[in-house]
Amino acid sequence: MSTDEHTHGTEDHGHEHHEAEGPGYPTPAAMRVESGREETAYVMAPRVGMENDGHDFVGVVDLDPDSDTYSELVDAIEMPNKGDELHHFGWNACSSSCHAEGLSRQYLVVPGQRSSRIHVVDAEDPRDPEIVKIIEPEDVFEHDLSAPHTVHCVPGGKIVISMLGDADGELPGGFLQLDQEDFSIDGHWEADRGEMAMNYDYWYQPRHDVLISSEWAAPSTYYPGFDLDDVEAGKYGDSIHVWDWETHEHRQTLEFGEEGLIPLEVRMSHNPEETQGYVGAALSSNVIRFYEADDGAWDWDVVIDEESREHEDWDMPVPPLITDLLLSLDDQYLFFSNWLHGDVRMYDVSDAGNPRLVDQVWAGGPFGERRQVQGHEIRGAPQMLQLSRDGRRLYWTTSLFSSWDNQFYPEMAEEGSLMLKADVYPEAGRMELDEDFLVDFGDAPGGPARAHEIRWPGGDCTSDVWQ
């Protein structure tokens, strides 16, 4: 069986198939055990803000250790327009639709964060994807939305994209819904926005009738770069939002205040029986656990709190800036990146409310000792993460967002960024940098590029949701 494809096994994972064969896996355990090793990665590669000012592309990276082109960029699907700023992307279908007969995980939905242009890429052949449709920005603006971010397929034949601004790049944001068959725009997903104005990432648990969304800021605020005065003026988020999955109505706001400034990536437990998850608050450098209480309301606790550090080149203590986090498919380990410090951390979250630090890897950044891999200076620091389905290989890229990169790691604008990897040993609770693996996006065809979010053709722990 190709490790980039999937056919359902016969093992009973406690989930009815209803005699239908759809995309994905019936349970997280099935994905972890049956899927095989990843052989290909898709990596968002924007060139916005680069000195060469080229077109963005979706990079295809060879992850097959037996291949002659292992750890190389083997293809680049170039976008037809400049200035998109490819950022996050997702599939037309995932494991939440494993009973949808006739549906396959074939298309990548690839939005431009700055342009609001949405590309549809046919990846039926994992090593030869091609753009098959483009939704132009004007079609998005008609719904008074802009700045697409998180893409999830959802049961019922739809794709939902979190949108961070209105048509003018101001607040409020919302959610754009696409049809799963022809990728036409249906309109807004949300029926009642309630208190939500800022948007960013989201996760959903259909079994418990809930969607959780987080906050960044208005595009007009974060596009130019980071300004601490904007935080003091209340222009950055400090809350997450609870939505009714069935009615699409806003239910509750969990306001963190100073304890949770700029809550970004949302990761709920993969086990669909659970009603809890984590969000990383970038500026406060906290990890917050949110959960459904016995009375049906949602509550939260700070479960990891990291300290800022003094640095001779800064006139203030440097926050770690937790920018990405993920859960292993068995919900045992939480990994997150400290982009301004330069490390990746691994926590055992078997006891969900009491995470335990088990290991960390330093690679780049202003504080770590490791500055090079394979003779390459590490440009930037660990940022976007992706874990192998078996939980044994953690990959990351080093770019955050063009204007923020240029502000904090300006060398990326000239030389591009990197993709790196650590080997993970879950039985021992440790990880180790793989110094034989490096993908240098500075050597990309057409000139240097940044490297951001990562996806596997067979699905992964940051895009698949289970019913």
**422's tokens:** 């650590």
Say if CB 94 and CB 464 are below 8 A apart.
yes
The CA distance from 223 to 87, in Å, is: 13
| pLDDT, position 18 | 43
| pLDDT, position 14 | 45
| pLDDT, position 97 | 80
**What are the extents of the domains in the chain?**
28-455
- Domain 28-455, architecture per CATH: 7 Propeller (2.130)
| Segments of the chain with pLDDT less than 50 | 1-3, 5-15, 17-20
Task: For residue 305, list its beta bridge partners.
Answer: 286
Say if CB 342 and CB 329 are below 8 A apart.
no
The CA distance from 64 to 22, in Å, is: 26
pTM over 0.75: yes
* Residue entry with tokens 């400049």: 82
The CA distance from 210 to 276, in Å, is: 11
Q: How far apart are the first and last CA of the chain?
A: 25
The CA distance from 437 to 294, in Å, is: 46
The CA distance from 175 to 416, in Å, is: 31
Task: Count how many Cα atoms sit within 13 Å of the Cα of residue 323 in the half-sphere of its side chain.
Answer: 28
| pLDDT, position 4 | 57
* Residue entry with tokens 């993969």: 270
Say if CB 361 and CB 343 are below 8 A apart.
yes
Question: How would you write 329-362 as a 3-class SS string?
Answer: CCCCEEEEEECCCCEEEEEECCCCCCCEEEEEEE
Q: What is the DSSP string of 115-168?
A: T--EEEEE-SSTTS-EEEEEE-HHHHHTTT-EEEEEEEEETTTEEEEEEEE-TT
